[in-house]
Amino acid sequence: MRHRAYSRAELARLVEPRSIAVVGASAREGAFGARVLENLAHYSGELYPVNDRYPRIGLLECYPSLKALPQRPDCVVIAVPREGVEPVIDEAAALGVGGAVVFSSGFGEVRAAEWHATQARIVRRARAAGLRMLGPNCMGFVNQSLRAGLTFIPEYARMPHRAGPVGIVSQSGALGYAVAQAAERGAGFSHFFSAGNSADVDVADLVSYLAEAPECRSIALVLEGIGNAQRLLDSGDRAWRAGKPVVVYKIATGEAGAAAARSHTGSIAGSQAANRALFERCGFVQVGELEALFETARFFARAGRPLGSGVAVVSGSGGAGVIAADMAERHGVPMPQPRAHTLEKLRGIVPEFGAARNPCDPTGQVLNNPESFKQCCTALLDDDQYGALVIPLGVALRGAGAERVVQIRELAAQYDKPICTVWISEWLQGPGSADYEDEPKATLFRSMDRCFAAIAAWQMRSRQVLAETRSRLSPPDALQRTHAILDAAGEALGERESKRILAAYGVPAIEERVSRNADEAVRAAREAGYPVVLKIDSAQILHKTEAGGVRLDLGNDAAVRRAFEEIVASARDYAPQAEIRGVLVQPMAARGVEAIVGARVDPQVGPIVVVGLGGVMVELLGDAVTALAPVSPSEAREMINRLRGRVLLEGFRGARPADLEAFALAVARISELIADGADRIAEIDVNPLVCRPDGVQALDALVVKQKD
Amino acid sequence: MRHRAYSRAELARLVEPRSIAVVGASAREGAFGARVLENLAHYSGELYPVNDRYPRIGLLECYPSLKALPQRPDCVVIAVPREGVEPVIDEAAALGVGGAVVFSSGFGEVRAAEWHATQARIVRRARAAGLRMLGPNCMGFVNQSLRAGLTFIPEYARMPHRAGPVGIVSQSGALGYAVAQAAERGAGFSHFFSAGNSADVDVADLVSYLAEAPECRSIALVLEGIGNAQRLLDSGDRAWRAGKPVVVYKIATGEAGAAAARSHTGSIAGSQAANRALFERCGFVQVGELEALFETARFFARAGRPLGSGVAVVSGSGGAGVIAADMAERHGVPMPQPRAHTLEKLRGIVPEFGAARNPCDPTGQVLNNPESFKQCCTALLDDDQYGALVIPLGVALRGAGAERVVQIRELAAQYDKPICTVWISEWLQGPGSADYEDEPKATLFRSMDRCFAAIAAWQMRSRQVLAETRSRLSPPDALQRTHAILDAAGEALGERESKRILAAYGVPAIEERVSRNADEAVRAAREAGYPVVLKIDSAQILHKTEAGGVRLDLGNDAAVRRAFEEIVASARDYAPQAEIRGVLVQPMAARGVEAIVGARVDPQVGPIVVVGLGGVMVELLGDAVTALAPVSPSEAREMINRLRGRVLLEGFRGARPADLEAFALAVARISELIADGADRIAEIDVNPLVCRPDGVQALDALVVKQKD
């Protein structure tokens, strides 16, 4: 597995070719090979149609093969049927071509093993020759700075040429191109890539490329599968360091698979929680709807760093101003009132029947005195409380807007604070909208909700601390001891073995004594001190309470004797095949807040750790936070802070606060365990981990091994 | 206060005039009086400009006054400055005109009391003469069936004439007209109304009008304030009975005021919870964003009754099909797999590399065989599992779409199941979109999320049972007894008086004994039986726990004695001015699930009742359900069912289930109390109401009187 994403230099001949050959070029209208030539009509480099059936196509000379070309092309577009792809790749590889785009479908995405093998062979040969391949089963790509559409989509040739700061990356060509069509209404992009089967170059590589491409200032990513999580992390890191925000819309968010998990952790931290954790670590901004993707990416392309946490609104419609305030509250964005000196300025501009406040309504007088609108904006932008300005645009009027656009352009040039215009009218491409779309310094939203969601994400993102350097928490022999326990344990681990693994990683757990009969149980109980807890000891019984295998708060010998017999009988009843090794005796733990800490190896994302509070908080309400493992103690602390139920830990209703540092340390240690042991451990459940003012203690634990 | 909304007959001369006079008509370009004439250029009735400065305007004869007109007009549009409005209304009222539209602002919405008085006077005179007035401070209205724009907005005259099934009602003219501009992209409406100051006719009246207007099949409502809740309920009832779904977007959703409430209820059931409760009782569908309003209303105009709970998706793009499945899961809409015979049909149509399932992907072969698309749709629409069909539309292509629209039109004509098309492309008004907009039998969405949100709301709405007839639960003298307790109580009520009011309404509460000194407390404790609870008894101390005024689980005389002294000392410390009547002694209640039942009189919505579970569920997580009071026991049961924490009541982790019928009955009784006593009681808190397998019991109660 390749964990490093390709750099811009590695992809330059594919994405920024100085010469392109189109194999399968065609003169037949509508054919892929004809459409590609059309989409390259404005391409400034050398263009070579290749097809032995034509001497020329249009004004271009046509060549019978790649070998016959007057020069070695940087990139080859392969517009031939599936069966013809492999020989072309071979020929290109032999010639030293730098990149290939393969449209044809029917390779890795179909059932037939034969074509999987062909795809694998093609990739191997291409890589050996340093040939980077996009596809197969893709729609190709567009590089606006070269005016090059290496794609068969029929619309690109007729699309208005408009470069913009957003690079679009998608596995699905149709979804990605649907986003790129924003250019048709006036909002340009820098690149559009469809990765298709991602046999060689995948979305992580394309994000990595865009991180270095100067025309691109932010990245809009439509993601279906994760592919290789390490490579995505690498690309996220490159984009972060390059200061290029990545906005991701993840499709395929179904959780049907989560139900199959064996432990609690699986059900409370499903694949979407794992994905979110990955995106957070990547530094990606996640949006929940496709229509938010491009707008949000455009906003981030321009937003810079927040210079104030508040947002000011200037609106000629009272209603639109109210909606802005509603959405600010919904997304937790502050809309403070202006400072005294700002207020004074506004009062000098806004008439009495207007609103000299935030939201500011300069009223219809702006029709008579257009400067007053700009003066209100200036007064608010000068106020250091405000980091952004939102301007709702109401009813679309023919002939209106042009003057306002100029004012907004002037404001945007003058201030380093983002300006957002919000198009309210259902006349979606009404008069003036194209001017706002085309404005490079302000962002046009078509939804107040999405505008404030983007602002909230921007404020959060700037507050986010980059993943810190983690130092090891556990002793050097911890993994070695874990392996020994796993080796001895057979298929599944009981509570005792699970706790021994926790102990190896320094997670405190309650002590226990093993008893094989009632007499031993009574002896153990006296040693532990009453009251005690009895639990069944069997590696095959994962859910002890369900099996009737737990008795709490036993106060004397008789109760222990009775409980021993009942537990064993219940467990035999529940799981007749289970090997029952005896009954564990533990002292009854002191009260505290019950937390749950889990970890598992997600098949796509890798090792993750999840933390929640016990009982209703996590079971009924799903109040849990997931992160990629390992996390440092301070990252674990941050996870705990994000729990809605955290006040329970902080001393709810007069209780003493729990030891949050000890809690965070235990979470970090468990995350280190799953990260270390990911190849052998599938899931870990510590439930409950009791959090008290004087520390934490695991009362029960379950480690599930990976299936071989 | 008028609690009944105007009927269509009462508003007919205003909204469906056979003749219109425009007072303040003007020949000066851009003047309100000129724009109105432009917007009436296609009006089919008699049109009379009125202005003594012109003999004619354009081709129309102009009259010096209303009296000078050749006939009494049905409706007068008053396009004169504020100062001139009152005389015109007087003249119109004297003539027996049926309706008036007043644009001018500066009446009830400004501070000057003088103009409030003028507005009130105008309304009084108009009403006395049977003259219905829209405004003042409004944008007027549009009646598409008359092609009449009684509005000064400059765009209507040039808007494409396109009637549609949605009536648009808004207080804010700018927001409402921004929605109506959907007609500019091809999606028509039947009426647009802006109610402005709503001095006479308000949004409730306009909803009521549309309920009876045959051109309108659903109503899109932008609402700022509630106005009169009874009138809104009346209009909701009329619309429901007429089978016209009302979709509402509420603006001004801030909760800043909730913090000021004196009891728990105020903070857990703020004004938005009250509004939602009102809308539910009205039968309205609520949307959370302006951009969802028109689409959703158009969907409901066409949707009819669900004939199956599942949704089928036919998509040529795999990615769009996946998004559909994601959004179905997000909104709880089932997307079942086809039945066996449907599957067989699909397999005969869909090629091997497509997807003969749900979502169905007939692949690019539809380009060669367009019928195959329709065949897939037909197969799925014939399957009785599916109540609706969703068709994502991907990349917008010039020249494409026309054939697909025809197919969808044919399908829509053939089936009584709604068909939704979803425009994926960011080319918002791309090729073909106007055809889809114009299609009367299918609804075009521009967001998959909103499409499935609308489908989910449609499925829920059809399941919703109309408010049942409630029979009285409490004895005939309950209110009389309550009044007596309130009369005696002075400003605030202590726990004892509050519980006596509950008792009058049949809500079981724990018994208590009053003690004025430690000896009496010990005697009371012995009578009640140990262990006991002691609580401070003071009408001025609403939050007893905060005051250190509660001690639980006291097991003997000495503990009671000590607790008595401590409680009194703490309370004196906490509230030196409070009159301390003594200490209440109660038996320690048996364990159960602690619920909270509250009620309050919302200033806009009226009496409401709220139910939640105690502790973290409601305090940290806001898990509470609000309804208009009174509710019947079965409606209360439905409220309880909607709590996320309801499983705690149903026997969580092996506990015995609580008596839900008794719980629901108590909620219904408390709702009857607030409804009966709304003029004197401000808030009621029953916290906790303990729910046990054998019934419920209020352990504490607080009744707050209305301020005089």
A259 band by pLDDT with thresholds 50, 70 and 90: very low
| Sign of the CA dihedral with A139 first, then A140, A144, and A149 last | negative
Least confident of A664-668, B293-297, B486-490, B538-542: B538-542
Nearest 10 degrees: Cα torsion A162, A163, A168, A172 = 30
Q: Angle between the A82-95 and A113-128 helix axes, to the nearest 10 degrees?
A: 10
Q: What are phi and psi of B395, to 5 degrees?
A: -55, 135
Interface contact A429-B428, CB threshold 8 A: yes
Kindly state whether A221 is in contact with chain B, defined as any CB-CB distance less than 8 angstroms. no
Distance from the Cα of B113 to chain A's closest Cα (Å) equals 14
Q: Could you give phi then psi for residue A626, rounded to 5 degrees?
A: -115, 145
B323·A425 Cβ contact <8 A: no
Contact state of A397 with B323 under an 8 Å Cβ cutoff: no
Measured distance CA(B569)–CA(B266) in Å, rounded: 30
Residue type, B295: E
Share of chain B above pLDDT 70, in %: 96
A 235-254 → B contacts, CB under 8 A: 251-254
CA distance to B102, B204, B246, B572, B635, per residue, from B235 (Å): 23, 6, 10, 53, 22
Q: What is the pLDDT of residues B547-556, one digit of tens each?
A: 889 998 899 9
SS3 content of chain B, % helix, strand, coil (to 5): 40, 20, 40
Give contacts of B 659-698 with A, CB under 8 A. none
**A501 touches A520 (CB < 8 A):** no
- Looking at the complex, report in whole angstroms how far the Cα of residue B158 sits from the nearest Cα belonging to chain A: 9
- Does B323 reach chain A within 8 Å, measured CB to CB? yes
> Which residues between 456 and 485 in chain A have a beta carbon less than 8 angstroms from any beta carbon of chain B?
none
- φ, ψ at A487 (rounded to 5°): -60, -45
Among A346-350, B219-223, B611-615, the minimum mean pLDDT is found in B611-615
Strand order in the sheet with B310-313: B310-313, B386-393, B419-423, B442-445
Residues B649-701: tens digit of each pLDDT: 998 767 789 999 999 999 999 999 999 999 999 999 999 999 999 999 999 99
Residue B683's region, left for phi above 0, alpha for psi from -120 to 50, else beta, is beta
How far is residue A607's CA from residue A671's CA, in Å, rounded to a whole number? 8
Flag if A182 and B449 touch (Cβ within 8 Å): no
> How many other β-carbons are positioned within 10 Å of the β-carbon of residue B569?
11
pTM: 0.93
Question: Going by DSSP bridges, is the β-strand pair B140-143/B148-151 parallel, antiparallel, or unpaired?
Answer: antiparallel
Average pLDDT of A635-648?
92
pLDDT single digits (tens) A131-187: 999 999 999 999 999 999 999 998 898 999 989 999 999 999 999 999 999 999 999
> Beta strand pairing status for B532-537 and B550-554?
antiparallel
Q: What does the pLDDT read at residue B270?
A: 77
Shortest Cα distance, chain B CAs vs residue A224, angstroms: 8
For the segment A175-226, what is each residue's pLDDT rounded down to a tens digit?
Answer: 999 999 999 999 999 999 999 999 999 999 999 999 999 999 999 999 998 8
Distance from C-alpha of A169 to C-alpha of A244, rounded to nearest angstrom: 14
State percent of chain A over pLDDT 70. 96
Largest Cα separation within chain A, whole Å, is 100
Which pLDDT score is estimated for A519?
A: 95
Residue A258 in this model has a pLDDT that exceeds 60: no
- pLDDT grade, residue A263 (50/70/90)? low
Distances (CA, A) of A425 to A430, A692, B135, B224: 8, 56, 23, 18
| Mean pLDDT, range B80-84, rounded to an integer | 96
C-alpha closest to that of A513 among A504, A525, A503: A525
Q: Which residues have C-beta within 8 Å of that of residue A240, sequence separation ≥ 6?
A: A282, A283, A466
As a whole number of angstroms, the distance between CA A390 and CA A369 comes to 20
Task: Please list the residues that pair with A312 across neighbouring strands.
Answer: A389
3-state SS assignment for residue A321 = helix
What are the chain A neighbours of B398 within 8 Å (beta carbons)?
154-155, 158
> Could you read off the pLDDT of A618-639 as tens digits, one per residue?
777 778 999 999 999 999 999 9
Give the per-residue pLDDT at B263: 56
CA dist A207 and A348 (Å) reads: 49
Q: Is the CB of residue B630 less than 8 Å away from at least one CB of chain A?
A: no
- Reported ipTM: the value is 0.92
The mean predicted confidence, pLDDT, of chain B is 92
Q: What is the residue type of A166? A: V
- Measure CB to CB from residue A319 to each of B172, B447, B616 and give the nearest one: B172
**Interface size, chain A vs chain B, as Cβ–Cβ contacts under 8 Å:** 199
Q: Are A586 and A688 in contact (CB under 8 A)?
A: no
A632's CB contacts (< 8 A; 6+ apart) are A468, A470, A471, A668
DSSP structure class, residue B517: S
Which residue out of A169, A295, A395, A550 would a mutagenesis test of the B interface target, given it has the greatest number of B Cβ atoms within 10 Å? A395
pLDDT confidence band for A467 (50 / 70 / 90): low
Q: What share of chain A is helix, strand, coil (3-state, %, to 5)?
A: 40, 20, 40
Span A301-332, pLDDT tens digits: 999 888 888 999 999 888 999 999 999 999 99
Of A626, A611, A607, whose CA–CA distance to A680 is shortest? A607
Sign of torsion over alpha carbons A299, A305, A307, A309? positive
Give the burial string for B434-467 (b: 16+ CB within 10 Å, else e): bbbbbbeebbbbbbbbbbbbbbbbbbebeeeeeb
Q: Are B600 and B268 in contact (CB under 8 A)?
A: no
Q: Say whether pLDDT at A261 is over 50.
A: no
Round to whole Å and give the CA distance between A531 and B509.
36
Identify the pLDDT of residue A264.
57
On the question of pLDDT at B256 being above 60, the answer is no
Residues 526-585 of A with CB under 8 A from B: none
Model confidence pLDDT, tens digit, residues A43-66: 999 999 999 999 999 999 999 999
Chain A: closest CA distance from residue B143 (Å): 19
- How far apart are alpha carbons B232 and B225 in whole angstroms? 11
Percent of chain B with pLDDT over 90: 77
* Sequence-ordered list of residues with C-beta below 8 angstroms from that of A243, at least 6 positions apart, any chain: none
* Side chain identity at residue A682, one-letter code: A
Handedness of CA A343, A345, A346, A350 (dihedral sign): positive
Which residues have a Cβ under 8 Å from the Cβ of B121 and sit 6 or more positions away?
Answer: B86
Whether cis (ω within 30° of 0) applies to the bond prior to A418 is: no
* B193 bridge partner residues: B141, B169
Burial of A320 (0-12, 13-18, 19+ CB in 10 A): buried
Query: Which tens digits make up the pLDDT trace of B17-71?
Result: 999 999 999 999 989 999 999 999 999 999 999 999 999 999 999 999 999 999 9
Minimum CA–CA partner of B646 in chain A: A620
* Phi, psi values for residue A390, rounded to 5°: -115, 130
- CA distances in angstroms from A401 to A367, A395, A421, A431, A433, listed in the order given: 11, 10, 12, 8, 8
Q: Report whether A517 contacts A563 (CB < 8 A).
A: no
The residue in chain B having the minimum alpha-carbon distance to the alpha carbon of residue A295 is: B426
pLDDT digits (tens, 9 = 90+) for B317-370: 889 999 999 999 999 999 999 999 999 999 999 987 788 999 999 877 776 778
- Among B603, B518, B592, which residue's Cα sits nearest to residue B554? B518
Quote the tokens at residue A275.
Answer: 């994905």
User: A-chain residues within 8 Å CB-CB of B645?
Assistant: 616, 620-621
Task: Inform me whether the pLDDT recorded for B12 exceeds 50.
Answer: yes
pLDDT at res. B258: 43
Residues in chain B: 708
CB within 8 A of B421, min separation 6: which ones? B390, B391, B392, B393, B408, B436, B439, B442, B443, B444, B445
Question: Between helices A495-504 and A660-676, what is the axis angle to 10°?
Answer: 100
Residues of A with CB below 8 A from B182's CB?
A: 426-427
Q: How far apart are CA B595 and CA B574, in angstroms?
A: 27
Q: What is the mean pLDDT of residues A63-87?
A: 97
Q: Do B429 and A185 touch (CB under 8 A)?
A: yes
Mean pLDDT computed over B296-310? 91
Could you tell me if A255 lies within 8 Å of chain B, comparing CB atoms? yes
* Nearest residue of chain A to residue B645 (CA atoms): A620
Q: Is the dihedral of CA A35, A41, A46, A49 positive or negative?
A: positive
Maximum CA extent, chain B: 101
Q: Enumerate residues 423 to 462 of chain A having a beta carbon within 8 A of any beta carbon in chain B.
A: 424-430, 446-449
Alpha carbons B424 and A244: distance in angstroms, whole number: 26
pLDDT band (50, 70, 90) for residue A114 = very high
- Give the whole-angstrom CA distance, residue A522 versus residue A607: 41
Dist CA A6 CA A127 (whole Å)? 12
pLDDT of residue A267 exceeding 70: no
